[in-house]
Structure 1
Amino acid sequence: MNKLSFPRWIVIFAFAHTASLAIAAEPVQVEVKLSDGSNGKMSLNLSTSTVAAGPVEFVVQNQSSSLKHEFMIVPWTTKLDALPYEPKTQQVNEAKLGAMEGVEDLAPGETVTTRMVLAKGRYIVFCNEPGHYMASMRSVFVAK
């Protein structure tokens, strides 16, 4: 006779619950493609623009053969083109943004992976190399 005898359903429940916690901790993966565009138009493309709040893994690929790009993300509730832009530098004024994260100065052809924990909310993702934000390298991203 076994001294420790648990009903089978308790063991199954405990295993299933532990497995679901491990799966829930895995970050959602979002592919980001930064490009100069075959038509000469720059682009920032996301494999998805909405994820569950929590850990997110961005796989950022600079598809350019000649230009550096960046992938920046900032909480933002107003218009996509309303970031504090400085015409003199042709860049978003990062000092005025507050809580911003991202990857700077990706070399042509470079791919990096970065993990972030995002709270529920609306974000703007963009490239802040000179002139790139105004050349449409920006998009809305939502964590629900």
Structure 2
Amino acid sequence: MLTRNVFQTLLTVCLFAASAGALAAEPAAVKVRLSDGASAGMSLTLVPSTVPAGPVEFTILNESRTMKHEFMILPWSEAGAALPYDQKTQQVNEARLRALQGVEDLNPRETVTARLMLKPGRYIAFCNEPGHFRDAMHATFIVSPTK
């Protein structure tokens, strides 16, 4: 009888630990809105704008009815203006960036989900369609150390 109670207790502890580990592995959820609203101008918003390190699931909505947009993200501790910007193409020069991730060419009204593994640090998220970065389609994103 005692052996059975010990076994049940151990089984309960193991199941609890396994479920706690599964919860820890769940990605942080971030909603991304890409907009070119006529009155408000272009924008890229992330909610929340701070998450713990590890897997992050971005649900990205291109709210535009007419334009393609992109969601690009990379670790970046400097000001956004310091990105290598090519005036001729009116785009950030992606070939000069390391650790760039994201989703290119989202069609108008398209929603996609991207799961990325992010380390602690300060990031910049931006749209790299011609002229969009210059028109304020960028935002800072913080990834904090895990507990």
Aligned-residue offset at 1:14: 1.7
Q: TM-score, normalised by structure 2?
A: 0.91
SS in 2 for 1:36: strand
Query: 2 CA distance for matches of 1:5 and 1:20?
Result: 22
Aligned-residue offset at 1:8: 4.9
The question of 1:24 aligning with 2:24 is answered yes
Query: 2 CA distance for matches of 1:19 and 1:42?
Result: 42
| Runs of at least 5 residues in structure 1 that lack an aligned partner in the other structure | none
SS in 1 for 2:6: coil
- The number of residues matched between the two structures is 144
Greater per-residue helix proportion:
2
Per the alignment, residue 139 of structure 2 pairs with: 139
Q: Higher mean Cα deviation, 83-92 or 37-46?
A: 37-46
Aligned-residue offset at 1:30: 0.3
Query: 2 CA distance for matches of 1:3 and 1:15?
Result: 18
Report the residue type matching 1:24 in the other structure: A
Q: Higher mean Cα deviation, 33-42 or 47-56?
A: 33-42
Pairing 1:11-90 to 2, within 5 Å after superposition: 11-39=11-39, 41-90=41-90
SS in 1 for 2:82: coil
Report the residue type matching 1:78 in the other structure: E
Q: TM-score, normalised by structure 1?
A: 0.93
Query: 1 CA distance for matches of 2:69 and 2:53?
Result: 26
Per the alignment, residue 93 of structure 1 pairs with: 93
Aligned-residue offset at 1:16: 1.5
Query: 2 CA distance for matches of 1:29 and 1:38?
Result: 28
Query: 1 CA distance for matches of 2:96 and 2:3?
Result: 65
SS in 2 for 1:128: coil
Query: 2 CA distance for matches of 1:3 and 1:20?
Result: 26
Report the residue type matching 1:56 in the other structure: V
